[in-house]
Amino acid sequence: MDDDILSQGGDREPSPWPRRLAVIGALLLVVAGGVVYLILPRHPHSTAAAVPAPAPTGLAAPGLPAEPDGIGGPTLPWAASLRLPATGTQPAWFSPATGRSAPIGGLPADSSGYGFTRVGGGWVVQPNAAGKTAHDDYAVPPLPVWFLADGARSVTRVGTANQVAPAATAGALWLTSYPLGAEASTAAGTAREVSLAGAPLGAPVRLPPGYVIEQATDRGLLLAPVSPQGGTTADELWDAAASRASRTFDSVIASTPTEIAWAPGCASLCLVHVLDLATGRQTTVELPKGSSAASGAFSPSGGFLALQLSLDNTGDGGALAMQLEVASVTSGRLTAVPGTFVSSDALVGFGWPADSDSLVAEFIFTTKAQLASWHPGASRLAVTVIPPGPDQASLVVG
């Protein structure tokens, strides 16, 4: 899944650990000489005509390195009921309200850590090596798959697979396996929908060679190419019964069983398209001039789409600036999430971890790691510092 930290619904993205280790290394450099991530207040706007905020700049005294202290200002309290999974060699539940962790039972210690894929009612959990089919050249043996229900103290065993994907209905998921040693870019995987207890829910499906399931939808399986060829990043909405694609989408950034969002290539004005699969209604979101959508995540209700916007202006370290924005799926109107205009390197990820429309984002600055939560319409964030330790670099927030 994707996905893992705050990642938009899945654990299919490469693990964020290499980047986090690089950030830790950057922290050491700060102690020795000073390298910064810089942060400025939000730039409010709601239309595509809005001008991006100025580039982040340092606020330190002349001759001294800037030392940002993360997201500041008045904040709201965290919900006591919210708990986030923390991956690592021994996964645990982390409470942002208290800063405390409690172990997740049923998962043996694994030096490679675990990946979490968001599905209806919880997460599918696998050892990190299970993601190799989608990102490496050759398939590895199928590895164990567990299900972790929202708030559950322990996992339940589902089966084994190379890849997992959310099903179109609650209480199910898709497991895909490949022949051992098969070349991932050309291999045809065998997929099967199963219950959360591992019971088969239908006949096995043979996928087109070189594709993996991104998300099962009400209108078929959304498939993504394992190794995009010729610059294409098109996903296919695939009808398994007819063994054909009914539609393609260029650069999908978010998906659910009922909605797909994609952001095709653009120049001066960039757009995000949102399709309601049940009604066929399409909404277009116009992005501010000089920005483009790097990733997205739908809220549990499907009424909002969170977007990470990359901006043309850069910080002192040369990294692109970014802003989190939330679009109304009905109107396409954008609202900036306050306090999230930062260097793109500071954002670890974002998502909607609970069955409520509250967006959670994780940031790592040179001096601290923080979690921020925002409910659409609120003028302030709930912010907490993640205590130093194994949970700091391994939270799953979406």
How far apart are the C-alpha atoms of 392 and 137, rounded to whole Å?
Answer: 31
On the question of pLDDT at 12 being above 50, the answer is no
- pLDDT for 320 equals 78
The single residue listed with the structure tokens 């340092």 is 58
Find all residues with CB under 8 Å of 143, minimum gap 6, and list them. 126, 127, 129, 130, 160, 161, 162
Cα–Cα distance measured from residue 336 to residue 381, given in angstroms and rounded to the nearest whole number: 12
CATH number of domain containing 374: 2.130.10
The pLDDT score that the predictor gives to residue 386 is 85
Q: Quote the pLDDT of residue 242.
A: 84
- Three-state SS string over the chain comes to CECCCCCCCCECCCCCHHHHHHHHHHHHHHHHCCCCCCEECCCCCCCCCCCCCCCCCCCCCCCCCCCCCCCCCCCECCCCCCCEEECCCCCEEECCCCCCEEECECCCCCCCCEEEEEECCEEEEEEHHHHHHHHCCECCCCEEEEEEECCCCECEEEEEECEEEECCCCCEEEEEECCCCCECCCCCCEEEEEECCCCECCCCEECCCCEEEEEEECCEEEEEECCCCCCCCEEEEEECCCCEEEEEEECEEEECCCEEEECCCCCCCCEEEEEECCCCCEEEEECCCCEEEEEEEECCCCCEEEEEEEEEEECCCCCEEEEEEEEECCCCCEEECCCCEEEHHHEEEEECCCCCCCEEEEEECCCCEEEEEECCCCCCCEEEECCCCHHHHCECCC
Predicted pLDDT of residue 52? 35
Average pLDDT over all residues of the chain: 79
Is residue 10 in a domain? no
Q: Does 140 reside within a domain?
A: yes
Contact 247, 237 (CB under 8 A): yes
Supply the pLDDT for residue 20.
38
353 in any annotated domain? yes
pLDDT in tens, 266-306: 877 899 999 999 999 999 999 999 899 999 999 999 999 99
pLDDT digits (tens, 9 = 90+) for 34-63: 333 333 333 333 332 233 333 332 223 333
Q: What is the pLDDT of residue 319?
A: 65
Q: Mind listing the pLDDT tens digit for each residue in 67-111?
A: 356 887 667 888 888 899 998 889 999 998 888 889 999 999 888
Domain assignment present for 239: yes
Q: Is residue 70 part of a domain?
A: yes
pLDDT, one tens digit per residue, over 341-385 is: 988 889 999 999 877 789 999 998 888 889 999 999 998 999 988
Task: Give the pLDDT mean for 114-125.
Answer: 92
In the prediction, which pLDDT does 50 show?
A: 31
Per-residue model confidence as pLDDT tens digits over 126-165? 998 755 554 455 567 889 999 999 989 999 999 999 999 9
What domain range includes position 249?
Answer: 17-393
pLDDT at 56: 37
Interval 194-230: pLDDT, tens:
999 999 999 999 999 989 999 999 999 999 998 766 5
Residue 22 phi, psi (nearest 5): -65, -40
Number of domains in the chain: 1
- State residue 322's pLDDT score: 92
Provide the pLDDT for residue 317: 54
In a domain, 118, yes or no: yes
Give the pLDDT of residue 102.
92
pLDDT in tens, 332-343: 999 999 989 988
Most confidently modeled of 11-25, 259-273, 317-331?
Answer: 259-273
Q: Are 200 and 192 in contact (CB under 8 A)?
A: yes
- The better pLDDT of the pair 386, 332 is held by 332
> CA–CA separation, 353 vs 85, rounded Å?
10
Burial of 351 (0-12, 13-18, 19+ CB in 10 A): buried
User: Does residue 9 form part of some domain?
Assistant: no
Answer whether residue 328 shows pLDDT above 50: yes
Question: CA-CA distance, 225 to 384, in Å (whole number)?
Answer: 38
User: Is residue 291 included in any domain, yes or no?
Assistant: yes
